[in-house]
Structure 1
Amino acid sequence: MPLEPITITRREPGPQDVQIDIVYCGICHSDIHQVRSEWAGTLYPCVPGHEIVGRVSTVGAHVNKHKVGDLVGIGCIVDSCQHCEECGDGLENYCDGMVGTYNFPTPDAPGHTLGGYAQQIVVDERYVLQIRHPESQLAAVAPLLCAGITTYSPLRHWDARPGKKIGVVGIGGLGHMGIKLAHAMGAHVVAFTTSEAKRDAAIVLGANEVVVSNNAEEMSAHAKSFDLILNTVAAPHDINALLALLKRDGTMVLVGAPATPHPSPNVFNLISKRRSLAGSMIGGIPETQEMLDFCAKHGIVADIEMIRADEINEAYERMLKGDVKYRFVMDARSLD
Structure 2
Amino acid sequence: MSTTKAYAAPAANIPLEPFSLERRAPGAHDVQIEILFCGVCHSDLHQIRDEWGGSIFPMVPGHEIVGRVTAVGDHVKNFKVGDLAGVGCMVDSCRTCPSCQEGLEQYCEVTGMIGTYNAREIGTGQPTYGGYSQQIVVDEKYTLKVSDKLDLARVAPLLCAGITTYSPLRQWKVGPGHRVAVMGLGGLGHMAVKFAAALGAEVTVLSTSANKEADAKALGAHKFVVTKDAEQLKSVGNYFDFIINTVSAQLDLATYVNLLRRDGTMILLGVPSEAPHIHAFNLISGRRRIAGSLIGGIAETQEMLDFCAEHNIMSDIELIKIQDINEAYERMLKGDVKYRFVIDTASLN
The TM-score normalised by the length of structure 1 is: 0.98
2-structure distance, mates of 1:110, 1:27: 26
SS at match of 1:6: strand
Match of 1:127 in 2: 142
Q: Find the aligned partners of 2:196 and 2:97 in 1 and give their Cα distance.
A: 31
Equivalent residue for 2:47, pick from 18, 34, 37: 34
How do 1:92-241 residues align onto structure 2 when only pairs under 5 Å count? 92-96=105-109, 97=111, 98-106=113-121, 111-134=126-149, 137-241=151-255
Structure 1 residue runs of 4 or more that deviate by more than 3 Å after TM superposition? 107-110
Deviations 1:263-293 (A, max 9, x none): x012111001110001101000000000000
- Segments of structure 1 that go 5 or more residues without pairing to the other structure are none
- Displacement of 1:260 in angstroms is 2.5
1:303 aligns with 2:332: no
Residue identity opposite 1:180 in structure 2: K
User: What CA distance in whole angstroms lies between the structure 1 residues aligned with 2:73 and 2:296?
Assistant: 26
Structure 1 residue 133, shift from structure 2 partner: 4.2
d(CA) in 1 for partners of 2:257, 2:266: 7
**Take 1:85 and 1:174, find their aligned partners in 2: how far apart are those partners?**
28
Structure 1 residues 53-83: Cα deviation after superposition (integer angstroms, max 9, x where no partner): 0000000000001111111100001001111
Whole-angstrom distance in 1 between the partners of 2:237 and 2:318: 36
Q: Which amino acid aligns with 1:21?
A: E
Task: Report the Cα offset of residue 132 of structure 1.
Answer: 1.2
Kindly state the Cα deviation for residue 258 of structure 1 after the two structures are TM-superposed.
2.0
Q: Percent identity?
A: 57
Length-normalised TM-score, structure 2: 0.94
1:47 paired to 2:60:
yes
1:111-152 superposed Cα distances (whole Å, 9 cap, x missing partner): 2110000000000000000011425x0000000000000000
* Structure 2 Cα separation of the partners of residues 9 and 183 of structure 1: 43
Unpaired runs of 5+ in structure 2?
1-13
Q: Is the 8 A contact 1:11 1:108 kept in 2?
A: no
d(CA) in 2 for partners of 1:257 and 1:277?
Answer: 14
Matches within 5 A, 1:279-318: 279-318=292-331
Count of residues in correspondence between the two structures: 334
1:242 to 209, 232, 256: 256
Find the aligned partners of 1:309 and 1:83 in 2 and give their Cα distance.
Answer: 38
- Structure 1 partner of 2:3: none
